[in-house]
Structure 1
Amino acid sequence: MSVNSTTGHCKAPNLFTYEVLSWVMVVEYVLGLPLNLSVLYIFIFRYKFWKNKSIFPFNIVVADFLLMVCLPAKAYHYQHGQRRSPIKAVCKTMHFLLCLNRGASMAFLITLSIDRYFSVVQLGRRNFVKVLKKTPQISILIWVLLLPLTIPTMVHTFECCNSLRNETFLNDVTDLFREIVYFAQILIPFIILVYCSVRIVNRLRRKTVGEKTKLRRAMLLVISVVVVFTLCFLPITIAKVVLLVARLQKWQSENVVVQVYDSLMVLSYIDCLLDPLVYCFCISGFKDAYISTFCPTFLKKKLLKAEQPQ
C-alpha cells in the first residue's frame, strides 16, 4: 500500500481540537458498540427480525456497525494530527464505509417514516412499503442501489473533503457529481420527512382516522427521525456548504471552517446512539424487550412498572 503525501491539507490545523475530537469518538465508540450489540441481540434472538417485520430497523443497526468499524481508526489518526489515514487504501475504505453508513441510515429511516405515513394518513390505500417489509430482498436492493452513489468517494480527488480544489476538468466534474449526490442524499429525504411529519400531525389533530394511540405513536416515530436528522445530518450539511464556499472563495479563515466541519462531522456520529430511540417507536414492545433482557432486576421492575398504564 502506498502512502499519500500529496498535500498538507490533510494535516490537523489545530492539534488540541483534533485531540479533543478523538476522545469524543472514543466515547461514542465505547457507548455505541455495546448498545448496538445489545440491540442486535434483541433483533435476532427476541424478535427474529426476518419474521417480525423488523427488517428495516435491523438494516439501520447494520449501517451503524459500519460506523463502529471506522471510529477507532479515525480517533487514532486525529490523535496523531491527521484528518485521515496517510495510507490511500485505508483512507478510501474508511471514507467509503462512512458514506455508506450515512446513506443507508437515511434510506432506512425515511422508509420507516413513509411506512408510518401510509399507515395512518393514507389508510385504506395499498401500503407498498408494508409489502416491501415482508420481502427481505428489498433491503438488499436498497444496499445495492446505494453503492453507485457511494463509489465516487473512492476517487482520488476526495482528499480530505478537498472537493473543487483540483484544476483539471475531469476532477472538477467528479467532485461536482459527488457533492450533488451528497446534498441530494440529505435534502431530499429531509423534505420527505418534513412532509410526512406535517401530514401525520394534522391527522392526529383531526383524529378522523384510526385510534389516537396509533396516531400518536406514528407521530413520535416521525419526530424521533426528525430529531436524528436535525442533530446528525443537517448541521454537517450546512457546514459543508460553508466549507465549499470558503474553498472556492479562498477565505483566509478556511482552517477555522475546516475545524468546525470536522467537529460537526464527529458529532454527527451520535446517530448510532440515537437510532435506538427510533426502534422504541417503530417496533411495538421493543423497549420492554430491551429492559427485560438487559436491565438489572431491581431496575427492571421499576421501569416496567412505570410503563404500565395507571
Structure 2
Amino acid sequence: MENSTYQLIEDCNATNKALYKFYAAVMIVIFILALPLNASVLHLFIFKLKFWKSNSNNIFLFNLVLADILLLFCLPIKAYNFIQGERRSENDVVCKAMLFMLFLNRGASIAFLTVTSIDRYFNVVHPGRKNLLRALKKSPQISVLIWLLLLPLTIPTMLKTFECCNSHKTTQDDTLVKDVVDSLREVVFFTQIVIPFVILVYCTVHIVNRLRKKTVGDRTKLRRAVFLVTTVMVVFSICFLPCALARMVLLITRIENMSEPAQDKAAVAFDGLMVLSYMDCLLDPLVYCFCSTKFKALYLTNYFPFLVKDAQVPTESSTGNMSHPTSHPTCNNVI
C-alpha cells in the first residue's frame, strides 16, 4: 500500500480524491465570482478612465487586473484536473502551458502590487523628491519591462517535476545538475514571494508612520489612507505567505527523506494553499476600490446605480484624473 501511494505521488495523482474535488470546487467559486468582478474593473480602466492618458499609477493597476484575469482562465483547467484525480494535466504541452500562465501572471500580480506600494511610499514619505519610478510611470514602458523581466523566471518553474512538488526528492537518478536545477527552481519560487513581502513591509510601515505623524487634515481621511496602505499587506499575507510556508515544510520533508505519508500530507497541504493563493484575483479589486472614493462611486454608478442615492455620477472628464480628486488629497497622495 505504501508503494502504491509512493507511485501515485510520483505520477502526480491525488491520493485524497475527495479533498481535491473540494479544492476544485473552491477554484470554480473563485472563478465565478472573480471573472465578472475583474472584467468590470477592466472595462472601467479602458472605457471610463482611459488609463493610458493618466499620469497616475492607473497604468500599474490596469496591469494588475489584466494579470488577474489571465490567471483566472487557468482555474477551470486546474479544477478539471483535480476533479479527475490529477494534480496536473497528463498532457505535457498543456501542463507546461498552464505552469507558464500560472507563474507569469501570479508573478505579475505580485510585481504590480509591489510597484504600486513603492510608488505610494515615495508619494507619502518623500513627496518632494524626484525618483525614477515617478518619471517612468507616466508611460507604459515600465509595465512592459516588468512583463518582460518576468518571462525568464518562468523557465525554471516549467521543468517537469515542479508542479508535483518533487524537488530535492531522493531518487536513484540524483545528479549534481538535478540538484542545481531543483535549487534554482526553489530560489525563483521563494524570491518571488519573500523579496516583495519585505519591500511591502518596509513601505507600509513607513507610510503608516508618516500618516500618523501628520497633524494637518481630516483625521477620517487619514485613517482611510492608513487602511488603504495596509490592504495590500493583508491581501499579500492571506494569499501568498501561507503557500510559501507550506512549500518550505514540503521541502523539509523531501530533504530529510521523511516517510511517504508525511510527504504526501505536505504535498496535499501545499496544493490546498496554492488554491488559496488564487483568492488574490478576488481580493485585488479591494485595492482599486480603496484607491479613491471616486473610483468606488464610478463603479457603483455604472454597475449598481440602485445603491447610489443622490450621488453625482462621475464624468469621463473627471475620471481621467480620478487618482487625484481634490476632495480627498491625503488618500490620493498615497495612491
TM-score by length of 1: 0.90
In 2, Cα distance between the equivalents of 1:298 and 1:159?
Answer: 46
Question: Are the structure 2 counterparts of residues 300 and 86 from structure 1 closer, same or farther at C-alpha, using a change threshold of 3 Å?
Answer: same
Which residue number corresponds to residue 300 of structure 1?
308
1:222 aligns with 2:229: yes
Q: Once the 2 structures are TM-superposed, how far is the Cα of residue 208 of structure 1 from its aligned partner?
A: 5.9
Aligned residue number for residue 286 of structure 2: 277
2:205 is the counterpart of 1:202: no
Cα distance in 2, alignment partners of residues 211 and 136 from structure 1: 34
Q: Is the 8 A contact 2:240 2:277 kept in 1?
A: yes
| Equivalent residue runs for 1:39-54 within 5 Å | 39-52=41-54, 53=56, 54=58
User: Equivalents in 1 of 2:209, 2:310: separation in Å?
Assistant: 35
- The unaligned stretches of length 5 or more in structure 1 are 1-6
**Which amino acid in 2 is paired with 1:99?**
F
Q: Identity of aligned pairs, percent?
A: 56
State the alpha-carbon separation in 1 of the partners of residues 110 and 73 from structure 2.
19
Task: Indicate if the aligned counterparts of 1:292 and 1:300 stay in contact, CA closer than 8 A.
Answer: yes
Deviation at residue 224 of structure 1 after TM alignment: 0.8
2:78 corresponds to 1:74: yes
The question of whether the paired residues in 2 share the 8 Å contact of 1:25 and 1:72 is answered with yes
Alpha-carbon distance between aligned partners in 2 of 1:298 and 1:92, rounded to the nearest angstrom:
45
Counterparts of 1:72 and 1:110, CA distance in 2: 27
**1:103-143: CA deviation from partner (whole Å, max 9, x where unpaired):** 11111101111111111111211133222221101100000
The number of residue pairs the alignment matches comes to 301
Amino acid corresponding to residue 222 of structure 1 in structure 2: V
Question: Which residue in the other structure is 2:115 paired with?
Answer: 111
The residue type paired with residue 301 of structure 1 is K
Structure 1 Cα separation of the partners of residues 311 and 190 of structure 2: 41
Runs (4+) of structure 1 moved beyond 4 Å?
A: 208-218, 302-305
| Contact residue 22 and residue 75 of structure 1 kept, 8 A | yes
Q: 1:102 to 1:17 in 2, by over 3 A?
A: same
Which residue does the alignment assign to 1:190?
197
Give the TM-score, by structure 2 length: 0.84
Quote how far apart the aligned CAs of 1:40 are: 0.6
User: In structure 2, what residue type is equivalent to 1:229?
Assistant: F
| Correspondent of 1:146 among 147, 150, 158 | 150
CA distance in structure 1 between the partners assigned to 2:217 and 2:137 by the alignment: 21
Secondary structure of the corresponding residue to residue 8 of structure 2? coil
Deviation at 1:175, TM superposition (A): 1.3
Kindly report which structure 2 residues correspond to 1:11-160, keeping only aligned pairs within 5 A, or say none.
Answer: 11-52=13-54, 53=56, 54-160=58-164
1:58 aligned counterpart, secondary structure: helix
